[in-house]
Amino acid sequence: MNLTKQTIDQVDLRNKRVLIRVDFNVPLDDTGEISDDSRIRAALPTINRAIDEDAVVILCSHLGRPKGTTKPALSLAPVAKRLHRLLNKPVIFVNDCIGPSVENAVKQAKSGDVILLENLRFHPGEEKNDEQFSSQLASFADIYINEAFGTAHRSHASTVGITKYVKNAAAGFLMKREVEALEGTVENPVRPFVAILGGAKVSGKIGVIKNLTGKVDKVIIGGGMAFTFIKALGFEIGKSLVENDMLDLAKQTLEQAMAQKIKFYLPVDCVVADSLEPDAETKIVTVQEIPPGWYGMDIGPASVRLFGEAVQNAKTILWNGPMGVFERDAFSRGTFALAHSVANAYAKTIVGGGDTALAVHRAGETESMAFISTGGGAALQLLEGKHMPGLAALPDSPY
């Protein structure tokens, strides 16, 4: 599956001012330090391409959800420090993303310089896709590169609006890899093709399940969303997470999968807790025996074995969503065990961003995966076969 949009290698960057929309929305710990810099590393090939072409490289990104106000805790200053280390060259950090301070920094920059602008979302115009904000951003650049797959499903000024005001635009190397890996896997998988879907809610993944039904050979469901399916089958689930308005749809999905001869796996046991407190009592029960008032928090050991066997003969595995509340040690075993099973399968493994990428990282299996997406919500939207505004706004490839 080739990307049909113009890409960075089809554009002349030499001595140009190149504005690259990156996705540096990285996790920060309590001290404000970056706890995982994989999103920064993922953009390095595109940044280095522009540096090699003697461009003035201007990087812009969001971080967190400041909702149009300046929040020092969400400054991109720590990202500038990390980028300096990764590029092994100075990074000029500007404490705004539009206005005179940016204008001056760009004017004074020499070929090969790298400038990082402050958090785009400190301005309300970014998320509103405001025309004036878009044109101000575009005024600093000759060429715009969208490298932020993680926000390609958003109609924001830095992903959509800006494309109207620049002379030329293209997708970066990461954007190209993301689209080709995810779309290519779904459209042309080597079989058997197994989809693993987890996370909290069925409503967030139902579009993916529908789009994949008919394309996959097996579906494995875990995480909080499994309890909606389990309740739809008529079992009591205690106080486990459930979307009652999705019960009928869950039942229909199960029936449709059976009709199409797709193997559909649900947990057979789970780890339950008597409260949501850190010191809660926990035990392992079958899904038919969840006690009233208890919460399902992870898949149990029998489910781990069942799911592990289900992926053993796979040739393509697509995984989006953890199997439980893996952030807490007591409920991490199911997700981590599945990460090991997926890593050990002789298959092309595609991990769909966000929490799943973090879980795979914590399980120590990052290097074993063929491709880990940098975008959670964007990956989901692409897997649903939905319109991606940030991608649609780019010009088509001339070749």
Residues noted as catalytic: 39, 201, 354, 377
Query: 141 burial class (0-12, 13-18, 19+ CB within 10 angstroms)?
Result: buried
Distance in angstroms (rounded) separating the CA atoms of residues 129 and 123: 11
| Helix, strand, coil percentages in the chain from 3-state DSSP, rounded to 5 | 40, 15, 45
Backbone angles phi, psi at 356, to 5 degrees: -65, -40
Using an 8 Å Cβ cutoff, are 352 and 373 in contact? yes
How does DSSP classify residue 108?
Answer: H
Tokens of 342: 């997926």
Using an 8 Å Cβ cutoff, are 394 and 171 in contact? yes
Distance between start and end Cα atoms, the chain: 15
Sign (positive or negative) of CA dihedral 200, 220, 326, 23: negative
How does DSSP classify residue 395?
Answer: P
